[in-house]
Amino acid sequence: MTLKRVVVTGLGTISPVGSNTEETWENVKNGVSGSDWITHYDASKFKTRFACEVKNYDPVKYFDRKEARKIDRFTQFALIAADEAIKDSGIKLEGIDMERTGVIWASGIGGVETFYQEVKGYIEGDYTPRFSPFFIQKIISDIAAGHISMKYGFMGPNYCTVSACASSTNAIIDAYNIIRLGMAETMLSGGSEAAINEIGMGGFQSMMAITSNNEEYKTASRPFCKTRSGFVMGEGGAALMLEEYEHAKARGAKIYAEVVGAGMSADAHHLTAPHPEGKGAAIVMRNAIKDAGINYDEIDYINVHGTATPRGDISELLAIKEIFGEHAYDINISSTKSIVGHLLGAAGAIESMFSILAMRDGIVPPTINHQEQDPDIDPKLNLTLHKAQKIEIKYALSNTFGFGGHNTSVIFKKYE
Residue type, 163: S
Question: Could you report how far apart the first and last alpha carbons of the chain are, in Å?
Answer: 25
Q: Is the distance from CB of 81 to CB of 238 less than 8 angstroms?
A: yes
What is the dihedral angle through the alpha carbons of 37, 43, 45, 51, rounded to the nearest 10 degrees?
Answer: -50
Q: How far apart are CA 50 and CA 48, in angstroms?
A: 6
Looking at the domain covering 7-250, what would its CATH class be?
A: alpha beta
Q: Which pTM does this prediction carry?
A: 0.97
- The domain spans of the chain are 7-250, 260-414
Note the pLDDT tens digit of each residue in 119-144: 999 999 887 888 999 999 999 999 99
Q: Is the distance from CB of 240 to CB of 348 less than 8 angstroms?
A: no
Q: Is the distance from CB of 199 to CB of 112 less than 8 angstroms?
A: yes
Give per-residue burial for 219-241: e unless 16+ CB within 10 Å, then b: bbbbbbbebbbbbbbbbbbbbbb
Please provide the CATH number assigned to the domain covering 260-414: 3.40.47.10
Catalytic positions are: 165, 305, 342
Residues of the chain with pLDDT under 50: none
Rg (CA), the chain: 20
Q: What is the pLDDT of residue 125?
A: 87
Q: What is the pLDDT of residue 213?
A: 97
Backbone angles phi, psi at 254, to 5 degrees: -75, 130
How are strands ordered across the β-sheet holding 186-193? 158-161, 101-106, 186-193, 236-244, 6-14, 257-266, 406-414, 395-402, 301-303, 332-334
Do the two domains 7-250 and 260-414 of this chain adopt the same fold? yes
